[in-house]
Structure formats: C-alpha cells, structure tokens
Structure 1
Amino acid sequence: MSALLRVEDLRVCFRTMGPLKALVTGTKAPFIDAVCGVSFEIHKGETLALVGESGSGKSTIARTIIGLQRAVSGSIRIDGQEIEELSGAERKPYLRRMAMMFQDPIGSLSPRLTVRSLLTEPFRIHGLKHPDLGGEAERLLRMVGLPADFARRYPHQLSGGQARRVGIARALALNPDLIIADEPTAGLDVSVQGEVLNLLARLQDELGMAILIITHNLNVVRHMTDRMAIMYLGRFIEVGSTERIFDQPRHPYTEALLAANPEPDPDAVLNRIELKGEVPSLMRRPSGCEFHTRCRYAQDICSRVFPEPSASEDAEHSFRCHFPLGRGSDRPLETTLSSAGPKSDDGQS
C-alpha cells in the first residue's frame, strides 16, 4: 500500500548567530541541526506518534511538513508528489491536504476574530469559494460537538476544551487527508483530555483521515496510535508498532521513558529508571551514540561509533543501539558490531 505521506532523510537547521557575527568570529557553520536525517511514512487512516523530550525536534518536523519551516535537505512527498521542489502557488493544493492543530488551543486562535471567521479563514487563505460560509461554520461546529451559537463568540469567551474543539473544527475545514496534532491534550483537565481524544478517534473513523500526533503523554500514545517513533536530539532512535514498543522496548532511552509514565493505580509497584546527567546541547553533540552520556548500559564503543539501524526479525521494529534490550529482560542483548572505525555525528536516521 502506497504511503499518504513519505518523509525521507529530512534535515532542518537553525542559525545560531547572524552572518556578520559569524564573519567576525570566524565561525564557518553557524547552524545547529534540529532534525537530522529523519525518515518515516504515514498511510491513510493510520495514526503515528512522535515522542520525546522537549527540544528533540518533534514540532520542527511538523512545522516543516506543513510548510511553516523549510528543510535544508530531504524529501517530503504526498501520494508520491515531491512538494519541497514546488513553488508557493504549486504547493497550495498539496498543503490543503494537511492541517495542523497547534499546541496552545487558545493562543493559536486570533483574539480579534469570531469563531465563525476562524472556521472559514482556510477558505479565504486558499482562495476557495463557498456558497454558504455561515452554514459551513455551523456544520463544522456540530461535527465537534459545539452549538451553532458559538460561531459568534471570540476566543477569550471559550474554555480550553472548547478552544481545542474549535481548533479541530478549523483543521477539518478543507477536508484534509492528514491532521497534525501538536500536544492535543496540553493544558486540559483529564476528563476533557478524554473527550478530545475520543472526538479525534471518532472523526478519524468517520472521515478516514491519518493523524500525526506529537505528545509527551504516553497514555495518549497507547490509547490511540498504531505506530510510534522515539526522538532524541533530532533523530529517530526507535520506531515500530505502539504495542510492540510498549511491550518490548529495545532502546534504553525508550525503556526510561516508558518507566517514567504515570501509573494511576496507587498500589502499583513502580520501577523507575533515573537518567543521569542533562540532555546534551545541540551545539555540542556527543560523539558516537548521542545517548551514551546518560545510558546505564553504555560501553566504550558507544562513545566512539554511531550505531547503525537495527531491526527485529519481522523488520517492522527498528532501533539504533549497540546493545539493545533483550526480550523480557532488563539487561541489554549484545549484537554483532561492525568492524568499521569511529563514525562521525552525521549518520542518518
């Protein structure tokens, strides 16, 4: 089955200083790699989660896919069409097939526009005519469980949950094939979080759209995603089905994330894993495996050689680790290591 969205070897950089300062200080490459060689695909009707600590590059990937950030290199294809090579006007029909829900539900809504204007704004931006924009706004509100009279309200008159529903409605305005949801439950009460997640799941079943979820909340990931990708310092370090990764994590970083997930049962026996040290700076990436400075299983080779991708027997679960965790054990399972010498930090994910 062909992929709806295919991202290959995506690299995104940000400047660390202006051109003049770089010239004066003699800095040849005043950039940091926020996303390093990331590749993945999403199929129609599928839900993929990007998981990782703040600053790992999750939102940067989302903003690059949607066209708010340009990539330095790499490929972004929708149904096989490369969109990075298209001009602004040529990109619009393809960008219409995607919509994004931003992390701040109220802050992402213009305070000077009514809900009606916010919901119909995508039609104006893309130059699309509609015979009844008012009726369309009411239809979108009904889809997300809000009364029609909400069309006259302003964002400051909405609660966090209501603003999130308006954000979902706005994302659905042009019938996209893919919705990118950046922390869809951030800042919401637990009960409201459940309502929003159930709403997204229902709309996905009804409309058949794919969803890319960016979240720290592993309970959200387990509840509604098919596959997940774990990010660390701008790279994918483990990718696979959600069920497989939760049951059999192979990378030590994934193991630590899952162990830190809140447990609602007060009588549950917790086995927390403490990660020592701070997250390294993107400006000073560690050599070899970038996680070795915090990994309790790290050995000498981990500080020298960047790990190549490995895969499980069925090739649907990949990870980057010299000593991946063994099944049903808290000890790493040694793998056959390449005899190649030390590798630079420019390895691809």
Structure 2
Amino acid sequence: MSALLSVQDLRVRFRTMGPIKALAIGTKAPFIDAVCGVSFEIHKGETLALVGESGSGKSTIARTIIGLQRAVSGSISFDGQELTELSAAERKPYLRRMAMTFQDPIGSLSPRLTVRSLLTEPFRIHGLKDRDAGAEATRLLRMVGLPADFVGRYPHRLSGGQARRVSIARALALNPDLIIADEPTAGLDVSVQGEVLNLLTRLQDELGIAILIITHNLNVVRHITDRMAIMYLGRFIEVGSTERIFHQPRHPYTEALLAANPEPDPDAVINRIELMGDVPSLMRRPSGCEFHTRCRYAQDICSHVFPEPTASREDAHHSFKCHFPLERETPMRLEQRRLSLAGPLRK
C-alpha cells in the first residue's frame, strides 16, 4: 500500500546572521541545520509520533510539511504528488487535504474572531462559498463534543481544553486526510488530556484520517500511536513500532527518555538514567555520533564516526543509529509501571 505522506531526506536550515556580517567576519556557513536528512512515511489511518526534547526539530518538520517553512533539500510527497516542486497556488489543493493544530491553542485562534468565524475560515480561504456557515460551525462543534451556543464566543472565553477542541474542529473543516497535531495535550490537566486523546482516537476511527503527532509526552505516545520516531539534534536516531520501542529500545537516548517518564506512585522503584552534560548547541554539533557527549556507553569510535542506520534483527522496520546498541529488554519493573500508567498499547 502506497504511503499517504512520504518525506525523504528532508533538510531545513535557518540563517544565523545576515550575508554582510557573515562576509565581514569570514563565516562561510552562517546557518544552523534544524532538520538533517529526515525520512519517514505515514499511511492512511496510521498514527506516527515524533518524540524528542524541545528544540530537536519536531515542529520544524511539521511546519515544513504544510508549507510554513521552506526546505533546503529533500522530498515531500503527498498521495503520490511531489509538493516541493509546486508553486503556492499548485500546492493549495493538496494542502486542503492536510490540517495542523498548533501547540498553543488559544494563541493560534485570532482574538478578534468568534468561534463561528474561526471554524468557517477554511471555507473562505479555499473559496467554498456554497457552504452554510452556521450549519457547518454547528456540525464541527458537535464533532468535537462542544455545544452549538459556543459559535458566538471569543477565544478569551474558552478554557484550554475547549480551545483545543475548537482547534481540532477547525482542522476537520475540510475533511482532511492528514492531521498534524503539535503537542495536543500541552498545558492541559490530566483528565482533559485524556478527553482530547480519546477525541482524536474516535475521530480517526470514524474518519480514517492519518495523524502525525508531535510530543515529548510518552504516555500520549503509548496511548494513541502505531509508530514512533525519536529525534535528537534534528535527526532520527530510532524509528519503529511503539510496542517494539517501548519493549526493547536500542538507542541509549531512547532508553533514557523511557526511564524519565513521570511516575505517579510515590512508592514505586524508579530506575532513572542520568544523562551527562547538556544538549549540544546546533551551532557546534559534536563530531561522530552527536549523542556521544552525553552517552554512558560511548567509546572512542563514537566521537569521530557517525553511525549508519541499522535494522533490528527481530523487526526490519525497527531501525536505529548507534555503534553499540542496547541488547537487553526494558527492565520488567519499568514495563509493568508503564502498562499500569498508560493502559494497553493501541493495536
């Protein structure tokens, strides 16, 4: 089955200084590479998570896919059509089939527009003048579990959870095939987080949409995703099924992320893994494996040879970049703790 979205060797960079200053101080490359050679696919009805620390490049990938950021090189193909070769006007029909919910739900909603105007804005942008704005707004609110009388409210009168639902409703306006959800549970109470995740899961089951979810919340990842990709300094360092990575992480950074998952039980035995040092600057990337400055398993080769992608012997779709991958399974106590905390894995 062909992929709905295919991203191949995507590279995104940002200029750190103007060309005149760069020339004056003799800098040949006044840029930082935020995304370095990232490749992945998403199929219809599938959920993929991008996981990593803040600043690892997750949101940059999302913004590049929907055209808010330009890629330096690489391919972005949607339903078989290469998007990077199209003009803004030519991309519009394909962008209509994608939608994104942003990390700050209230900040992404114009304070000058009512909920009705916010929900029907996609119809105006895409020239769909034959729609009944009132009926469409009511339909979308109903889909996300909000009453019809919310159409007259302004964003400042919405709670965080309500604003998140309005953002999801707006994303659903044009019946997209793909939704990109950037930190969909950020800033929400735990109970509201559960409601939002259940809403996304229900909508996916009903509509068959694919979801690209960006988060550092591992409980979210375990609850709703099929596959996950771990990012570090703009690269994928481990990719595979959610079940496989939680059960047997192969990269030391993934192991540390899983061990750092919050534990609500004060009596639980927690096996934390303390990483050495700070996250390196994108302006001064370490040579070799970029994680070697913080890795407790690092050896001499790690400091000067970049590891090539390696497929797991047990699962060809599980790949990682590490000279000395972990061979052991996740400790049983950690596995039991995550199961009790997050519930069963999504199948």
TM bin (shorter chain): over 0.9
Q: How far, CA to CA, are the matches of 1:68 and 1:43 in structure 2?
A: 22
Partner of 2:240, secondary structure, is strand
Q: How far, CA to CA, are the matches of 2:32 and 2:275 in structure 1?
A: 24
TM-score of the superposed pair, with normalisation by structure 2: 0.94
Within-5 A mapping of 1:149-164: 149-164=149-164
Kept after mapping to 1: 8 A contact 2:248/2:330:
no
Partner of 2:231, secondary structure, is strand
Shift of 1:130: 2.9
Q: How far, CA to CA, are the matches of 1:97 and 1:30 in structure 2?
A: 36
1:34 matches 2:31: no
Deviates more, 1:190-199 or 1:321-330: 321-330
Shift of 1:148: 0.6
1:83 matches 2:70: no
Q: Which amino acid aligns with 2:321?
A: R
Q: Could you tell me which residue of structure 1 aligns to residue 48 of structure 2? A: 48
Q: Which amino acid aligns with 1:297?
A: Y
Q: Could you tell me which residue of structure 1 aligns to residue 146 of structure 2? A: 146
Shift of 1:329: 7.3
1:317 matches 2:300: no
Partner of 1:237, secondary structure, is strand
Structure 1 runs not aligned, ≥5 long: 331-349
1:180 matches 2:188: no
Residues 248-284 of structure 1 deviation map (CA, whole Å, 9 limit, x = unaligned)? 0000000000000012233221000000101000000
TM-score of the superposed pair, with normalisation by structure 1: 0.93
Shift of 1:25: 1.1
Partner of 2:76, secondary structure, is strand
Q: How far, CA to CA, are the matches of 2:52 and 2:142 in structure 1?
A: 34
1:6 matches 2:12: no
Within-5 A mapping of 1:331-346: none
Shift of 1:294: 0.1
1:237 matches 2:237: yes
Q: Could you tell me which residue of structure 2 aligns to residue 288 of structure 1? A: 288
Q: How far, CA to CA, are the matches of 1:201 and 1:329 in structure 2?
A: 27
Partner of 1:8, secondary structure, is strand
Kept after mapping to 1: 8 A contact 2:123/2:131:
no
Structure 1 vs Structure 2: percent identity of aligned residues?
89
Deviates more, 1:35-44 or 1:19-28: 19-28
Within-5 A mapping of 1:254-265: 254-265=254-265
Shift of 1:20: 1.4
Q: Which amino acid aligns with 2:210?
A: A
Q: Could you tell me which residue of structure 2 aligns to residue 121 of structure 1? A: 121
1:68 matches 2:68: yes
Q: Could you tell me which residue of structure 1 aligns to residue 337 of structure 2? A: none
Q: Which amino acid aligns with 2:328?
A: R
Partner of 2:61, secondary structure, is helix
Q: How far, CA to CA, are the matches of 1:188 and 1:329 in structure 2?
A: 29
Q: Could you tell me which residue of structure 2 aligns to residue 130 of structure 1? A: 130
Q: How far, CA to CA, are the matches of 1:171 and 1:113 in structure 2?
A: 16
Q: How far, CA to CA, are the matches of 2:237 and 2:252 in structure 1?
A: 10
Q: How far, CA to CA, are the matches of 1:86 and 1:52 in structure 2?
A: 31
Shift of 1:124: 1.1
Partner of 1:283, secondary structure, is helix
Q: How far, CA to CA, are the matches of 2:330 and 2:206 in structure 1?
A: 41
Q: How far, CA to CA, are the matches of 1:98 and 1:265 in structure 2?
A: 40
Kept after mapping to 1: 8 A contact 2:65/2:76:
yes
Q: Which amino acid aligns with 1:273?
A: I
Q: Which amino acid aligns with 1:67?
A: G
Q: Which amino acid aligns with 1:322?
A: H
Partner of 2:294, secondary structure, is coil
Within-5 A mapping of 1:163-174: 163-174=163-174
Q: Could you tell me which residue of structure 1 aligns to residue 100 of structure 2? A: 100
Q: How far, CA to CA, are the matches of 2:270 and 2:291 in structure 1?
A: 24
Kept after mapping to 1: 8 A contact 2:246/2:330:
no
Q: How far, CA to CA, are the matches of 2:264 and 2:226 in structure 1?
A: 23
Q: Which amino acid aligns with 1:41?
A: E
Shift of 1:121: 0.5
Structure 2 runs not aligned, ≥5 long: 332-347
Partner of 2:282, secondary structure, is coil
Shift of 1:19: 1.3
Residues 83-117 of structure 1 deviation map (CA, whole Å, 9 limit, x = unaligned)? 01001110000011110000001111000000000
Q: How far, CA to CA, are the matches of 1:194 and 1:317 in structure 2?
A: 28
Q: Which amino acid aligns with 1:324?
A: P
Partner of 1:162, secondary structure, is helix
